[in-house]
Amino acid sequence: MWLRHNPLHYLLFAGSLLSSSCRAVFSDEAFHTDFQVQLFGTALDPSSTFFHQATAGKPGSLLYTLSNRLVIGAINPKDGAHVWRQRLGEGIVSESEELSKLAWLRKSKDGRIVSVFDRAIALWDAATGRAVWQYSASGSVADVITLEAENLLVVALKGGEVKAIKLESGEIAWETLVGEGRDVASNFNLVGDRLFLTLSEPAAKALKTVVISPATGAQLEAFIDGVFGPSDAHVLTPQLLPLTAFRDSDHLKLNTLGTKHTKSLAVDSKVHDYRLHAVTKDTLFVEYWAKSPDSTTSWADFYKIKDGVVTKQVDIPYENAVSVFSLSDSGSGIFAARVNRAEIRIYDTESENQVKAFELPKLLPAEPLHAVAEVVKRKDGAIAVRAAVTLADGNMVLIRNDQIVWTRQEALASAVAAEFVDVHEVEDTLEKTLHAEEASNLVTAYIKRVTRHIEELKYLPGWIAGFQQSILGIFGPAAPVDASVTRDPFGYRKFVVFVTRFGWVTAIDTANRGEVVWTISLGKAQILEKDVKGIFHFGKGVILVVLSSGDIFKIDAITGKGLKKTAFQILPSASVMTIESPTTDDRWIIAVPVKEGIKGWFWPDEKEEELTKALSKTTLSRKCESSSGICGYTAKTTVGGRLLLSPTWSFRLPPNQKIVSISTRPAHDPIASIGKVLGDRSVMYKYVNPHLALLIATAPSTSSIYLYLLDTVSGTVLHTSIQTEADITRPIVATIAENWYVYSYYSNSAARGTQIVVTDFYASATKNDPGHLLQPNASSYDQPRSASPYGISQAFIFPHPITSLATTTTRQGITTRSILLSVPKLGSLLSINKRTLEPRRPIGREPTAEEKEEGLFKYEPFLGVDHGRGSLSHIRDLVGIQKVITTPSLLESTSIVVGWGIDIFGTRTSPSEAFDVLGRGFNKLALIGSVLAVGVGTLFLRPMVRKKQIGQRWAQ
Amino acid sequence: MATITSILIRLTSLLLLLFPALISAVNVVGSIKPNNILQSLTLLPPSMTVSLSGATLADSHTSHIFANGAFKFQDVKPGSYLLEVNCRTHLFPSLRVDVSSDGLVEVYGTFRGNEWSNKGERRPHPIDISPVKGSDFFIIREGFNPMKLLSNPMILIAIVAIGGMTLMPKMVENMDPETRAEFEKQQQNSVLSNAQNNPLQGFDMAGYLAGSSSKKPSTPGNGSKRK
């Protein structure tokens, strides 16, 4: 019977099902209420960033880049807008230096560019970003070269295999194996029509080059270039040079290809690294930089290559500042551009003196990491330069002569932590002033009020101007107003504070299209995800950034001013949390060390009595010492900002299980209704417990997922469930709120694919039974062990892998929740109403009238998503959204959502429709028009009716 | 003799190194075909991919869509795979791809939400796949539309009634005296019978509209025409 089903029917059914429960985006709100910061990430390597013609034969070039997040793409150099992007892999934030050996981007022929990431090679259309072909090699790729004459892309694998791929079709033209698999290939060079491949042969301690025929792949000749010791390394050599370069600890050796001639350049022992540049085959440019704790030095040399002999030509002088070089040849001579924080200087191949210097109007925000520059000498001798500079704060700027044309906030693509800051918290609200007036005596209250009114007069001109605007707004859509200057009565304006891996803290404004509000350096060269203990709210408009090193940065989140930096002797693995005083506004952060028997810390080290009071009501919990479970502690303050910890409970996993994640209910998670009213007017009471923690563990040996719901005060296991036949290599994500949790995993069972499982918890399996909920002094401490909640589950099949789950949150919790799913394969942020993910949906039958009244509809195992209507990001292409965070606005209907990872996407969503605010669809003109029409109609009809009545009287 | 065997061994090892793909894995290829839902391949977003999901993440493949709509998965190991088109703008059917150890590729339709063993019809191997539906991203807000208002049945009834009210006296005037008398009589009767049944009869709507405060109910009995 099932076989007769048409897949189209399924898809359409799923679509219609979800369009009823998913709220799509209104066409007039899209692109107005949401924003997207389209990012690439920080440019990885100077050789993978270049200006290149987008379409062969046409003027106008784009800036191409490969980032540390493995995104390639094109940027318009005029305004910094992105043209296209593609992801090479599911980019993990890893060390840039390692990544730059695995991934690179090169120019190819006919408006194409070629990308390499480990084993994958792809050719892309430079103008549109469409793939031309992809090829997956059997091993890591060592180098690629485009042979224009033969129309081939030649690929060398690390193992010595060489393959030629036809540029047009992606088919293999020829392949050969160099060195019987024992040698390590490193670099191609093309000299005339001879293709050289450099290999190192570890067994023979030799560096050798093999000449390959471009047309057939035949190995024509082999040379031994020199001794290649175990400490030696190959140096990436530009492919157009007739040289191959390698290094030992204090020499740079340049071998002229096809000869035994090797020039050895002594390199100062202070030199940290060097880079070879070339734009023509007869000039070599070597850039050196030396880093020591107190100073950084950089310099460079020009070398001339003539008949295979390398001679030094120009020595560009030392400088005690970080500067980076870029070599360019735009048809008017070879120039090197030297960029530092203050200026760009241009050198030519003739002298060691600069030919031109452009001083920037102000210092760049950080030191440059690397640059690509184009220098043009006009006919009248004037020199112009444009340079794309990657800075140490992770951002990219484009400088034209002495002006900064644009800045791209690429560091945000490398964010490691993010948190909302409420701008309203700090503004003195009217409510508060009124309360203050009420509290004082009559006379002072009167004086206060009058002065307040006089003060408010200053808003009058603005209000009148706004009034005019709102009248004009009646006759057509209101002109878009700059959100940064208007008031924000609905609380849509939040700052999102990011900590980036470059050691900076940056805040963006959700009401102003994600523009950067402030940015501040933490003075650390690099911060990874494990280095950040958290971003904590610390009173009104103040945030704390706590690092594993023990540094605590107190930052005013509104202005971005660093208020205080302090440190406590925190152990890297300690758990950090905030604790609030139940009576006053005081807050502390607490660090619980991972080792048993060691005292904890608290900060600030003041008001200990208040803290003791606050601590007496809480149980602290964290991962256990062996990190195979959760342990609970009670704490007492002692002198010197230390805490005495005494263990109260522990939950340990069996040895074959590993923790995947621990989720707790969000800090702001109000439950508006403690029960659920059923169709027959009986009530299912929700299991309400603010101390829930969902621990997800996997057992690799049995491919199972274990879910434990714990009470973090008593340590009781409230609920356990197991999923067998799961693929634990794919992401397992969960979100927990109110009295339910939702998780997603990949199942290899009969119902294969990504599954979403929802579990709701009720106080009791029977109706009208509130359990312990309504007892006068119910507490987690004295709950009997048997008082475990009643859980109901349902699982759904979902068509795409989900990398992140989140729940909307509103001010009072009255609005229905939506589950937000980040689906990277679609590049979308989808939203599913909790009413759809309802475990009480009837299975295998139509709902009864009572169930319909409750809003239940028939269970369908396939939760297809209408990509359009279920999508909060609608037509936008989101790249790499990894985490989704939500916060309430001042309107009950609306929750503010921000997704981050690579791109930053922000929007606001109303899961139960915007019931408390007039939307853009409210037509003031129609309302006024219909009132007027009724009035006119009455005036018009009145004499007619009167005449008729009189006529009737006469007729009687 | 020994040299020859060593060369032979070397050759075979070389061959094995070069062609490991031929022994254990096959390519799965296909292409996206335009249809009346997808007029042109250029309408597809460049970032869209096709994925072939196996039992573990390591066995899974992803391919971009090339300019001619083609996609290709290299070196697919034997196993049972789920082929999905990851596209935001169009909905494509999912397929089941079975690769056997002798390199045979079988493609079937699949029904999500049913057992994996529940296969659909068999499809040819270079897979041709076309979208079944386009995505609507937005709800369009319904503004004020006079035509829509006029097409509302209630409004239509009202217009017909008003038209009848204005046209009827003229029609009656044009009737020949006999039928006219008959009609008036009939109308009298019907109005009378209506009046008896109408519970709202006491409410003087016309008077209310005219602003008169007369409480005395008018008798509609005598017809609408002056004599």
Give percent of chain A above pLDDT 90. Answer: 21
Q: Which amino acid is at A78?
A: K
Instruction: Scan for tokens 């693509």, then name that residue.
Output: A413
Q: Decide if pLDDT at A748 tops 80.
A: yes
No. of H helices and E strands in chain B?
6, 12
Last residue within a domain, chosen from A610, A628, A650: A650
Q: How far is CA A134 from the centre of its chain?
A: 26
Strands B26-32 vs B49-53: parallel, antiparallel or unpaired: unpaired
Nearest CA in chain B to A800: B86
Contacts of A129 in chain B (CB under 8 A): 46-47
Contacts of B133 in chain A (CB under 8 A): 8, 11-12, 15
Contacts of A135 in chain B (CB under 8 A): 74
User: What's residue A566's pLDDT?
Assistant: 82
For residue A825, give the nearest of B51, B132, B142 by CB distance: B51
Instruction: Scan for tokens 């491919």, then name that residue.
Output: A703
In a domain? residue A927: no
- Asked if residue A452 lies in contact with residue A433, where contact means CB atoms within 8 angstroms, the answer is yes
Contacts of A909 in chain B (CB under 8 A): none
**DSSP per residue, B54-110:** -SSGGG-EEEE-BTTSEEEEEEEPSEEEEEEEE-SSEE---EEEEE-TTS-EEEEEE
With CB atoms and an 8 Å threshold, state whether B132 touches A8. yes
Contacts of B220 in chain A (CB under 8 A): 952
**DSSP per residue, A182-221:** -SEEEEEEEETTEEEEEEEETTTTEEEEEEE-TTT--EEE
Rounded CA-CA distance A461/A465 in Å is 6
Strands A753-762 vs A733-737: parallel, antiparallel or unpaired: unpaired
Round the average pLDDT of chain A to a whole number and report it: 83
Average pLDDT value for residue range A709-721? 89
Mutate which of A20, A92, A133, A157 to test chain B, going by most B C-beta atoms within 10 A? Answer: A133
Rg (CA), chain A: 34
In a domain? residue A141: no
Q: Decide if pLDDT at A345 tops 50.
A: yes
- Domain boundaries, given as residue ranges, for chain B: 22-134, 147-213
For residue B205, name the pLDDT band (cuts at 50, 70, 90): low
The domain total for chain A is 2
- Asked if residue A296 lies in contact with residue A290, where contact means CB atoms within 8 angstroms, the answer is yes
Q: Decide if pLDDT at B225 tops 50.
A: no
In a domain? residue A841: no
Q: Decide if pLDDT at A3 tops 80.
A: no
Last residue within a domain, chosen from A616, A650, A684: A650
Contacts of residues A654-659 at CB distance under 8 Å and 24 or more positions apart, as own/partner, are: A654/A699, A655/A628, A656/A699, A656/A700, A656/A701, A656/A702, A657/A628, A657/A697, A657/A698, A657/A699, A657/A706, A658/A628, A658/A697, A658/A698, A658/A699, A658/A700, A659/A623, A659/A627, A659/A628, A659/A629, A659/A695, A659/A696, A659/A697
Average pLDDT value for residue range A662-684? 89
Q: Decide if pLDDT at A595 tops 50.
A: yes
Query: The tokens of A361 are what?
Result: 């109007």
Average pLDDT value for residue range A662-666? 90
Q: Decide if pLDDT at A640 tops 90.
A: no
User: What's residue B8's pLDDT?
Assistant: 45
User: What's residue A773's pLDDT?
Assistant: 61
In a domain? residue A604: yes
Query: The tokens of A20 are what?
Result: 């009823």
Rounded CA-CA distance A939/B100 in Å is 84
Phi and psi, residue A414, nearest 5°:
-110, 30
Supply the ipTM of this predicted assembly. 0.79
With CB atoms and an 8 Å threshold, state whether B218 touches A161. no
Find the distance separating the first CA and the last CA of chain B, reported in whole Å: 137
**DSSP per residue, A91-148:** -----HHHHHHHEEEEE-SSSEEEEEETTEEEEEETTT--EEEEEE-SS-EEEEEEET
Average pLDDT value for residue range A278-292? 84
Phi and psi, residue A300, nearest 5°:
-155, 160
Give the least confident one: A405-419, A430-444, B14-28: B14-28
For residue A185, name the pLDDT band (cuts at 50, 70, 90): confident
Query: How far is A861 from chain B, CA to nearest CA, in Å?
Result: 5
pLDDT tens digits for A805-828? 999 999 998 999 999 999 988 888
Q: What is the DSSP letter of A686?
A: B
Average pLDDT value for residue range A453-481? 69
Rounded CA-CA distance A875/A868 in Å is 8
SS3 track for B12-26? HHHHHHHCHHHHHCE
pLDDT tens digits for A112-156? 899 998 888 999 998 888 999 988 888 888 889 998 888 889 999
Q: Decide if pLDDT at A731 tops 60.
A: yes
User: What's residue A329's pLDDT?
Assistant: 84
Interface A–B counts its CB contacts (< 8 A) at 199
Instruction: Scan for tokens 């590993």, then name that residue.
Output: A658
For residue A949, give the nearest of B84, B212, B227 by CB distance: B212
Rounded CA-CA distance A612/A633 in Å is 14
Average pLDDT value for residue range A78-87? 90
- Asked if residue A796 lies in contact with residue A861, where contact means CB atoms within 8 angstroms, the answer is yes
For residue A94, name the pLDDT band (cuts at 50, 70, 90): low
User: What's residue B215's pLDDT?
Assistant: 47
Q: What angle do CA A712, A816, A15 make, to 5 degrees?
A: 120
- Asked if residue A74 lies in contact with residue A105, where contact means CB atoms within 8 angstroms, the answer is no
**DSSP per residue, A875-934:** T-----EEEEEEEE-SSTT-EEEEEEESSEEEEEE-TT--TTS--TT--HHHHHHHHHHH
Rounded CA-CA distance B123/B97 in Å is 10
Between residues A375 and A752, which one has the greater pLDDT? A375
In a domain? residue A590: yes
Rounded CA-CA distance B90/B69 in Å is 14
CB interface of B with A, residues 45-64, below 8 Å: 45-47, 49, 51, 53, 55-58, 63-64
For residue A293, name the pLDDT band (cuts at 50, 70, 90): low
Domain, as residue range, for A582 = 570-650
Rounded CA-CA distance B42/B27 in Å is 25
Contacts of A955 in chain B (CB under 8 A): 222-223, 225-227
CB interface of A with B, residues 397-456, below 8 Å: none
Average pLDDT value for residue range B80-102? 88
CATH homologous superfamily of B22-134 equals Immunoglobulins (2.60.40.10)
Q: Is residue B226 less than 8 Å (CB to CB) from chain A?
A: yes
Element (H, E) at A390: strand A383-391
Give the least confident one: A794-803, B93-102, B194-203: B194-203
Rounded CA-CA distance A698/A720 in Å is 13
User: What's residue A439's pLDDT?
Assistant: 77
pLDDT tens digits for A496-544? 999 998 889 999 999 888 899 999 988 877 787 778 888 888 877 888 8
Q: What angle do CA B154, B160, B161 make, to 5 degrees?
A: 90
User: What's residue A785's pLDDT?
Assistant: 45
Q: Is residue A652 less than 8 Å (CB to CB) from chain B?
A: no
Give the least confident one: A7-16, A437-446, A687-696, A777-786: A7-16
Q: Decide if pLDDT at A893 tops 80.
A: yes
Rounded CA-CA distance A448/A450 in Å is 6
Query: How far is B175 from chain A, CA to nearest CA, in Å?
Result: 22
For the full predicted model, state whether its pTM sits above 0.90: no
In our burial notation (b when 16+ CB lie closer than 10 A, e otherwise), range B4-23 reads eeeeeeeeeeeeeebeeeee
pLDDT tens digits for A24-74? 677 777 788 889 999 998 998 888 899 988 887 777 889 999 988 889 999
Query: The tokens of B133 are what?
Result: 């539906």
Contacts of B209 in chain A (CB under 8 A): 938, 941-942, 945
Rounded CA-CA distance A732/A751 in Å is 17
In a domain? residue A342: yes
Rounded CA-CA distance A452/A440 in Å is 15
For residue A14, name the pLDDT band (cuts at 50, 70, 90): very low
Phi and psi, residue A261, nearest 5°:
-75, 120
Nearest CA in chain B to A175: B18
For residue A9, name the pLDDT band (cuts at 50, 70, 90): very low
Q: If DSSP codes are grouped into helix, strand and coil, which group holds residue A392?
A: coil
Mutate which of B62, B141, B145 to test chain A, going by most A C-beta atoms within 10 A? Answer: B141
Q: Decide if pLDDT at A159 tops 50.
A: yes
Q: Decide if pLDDT at A936 tops 70.
A: yes
In a domain? residue A944: no
CB interface of B with A, residues 145-204, below 8 Å: none
Last residue within a domain, chosen from A374, A408, A442: A408
In a domain? residue A618: yes
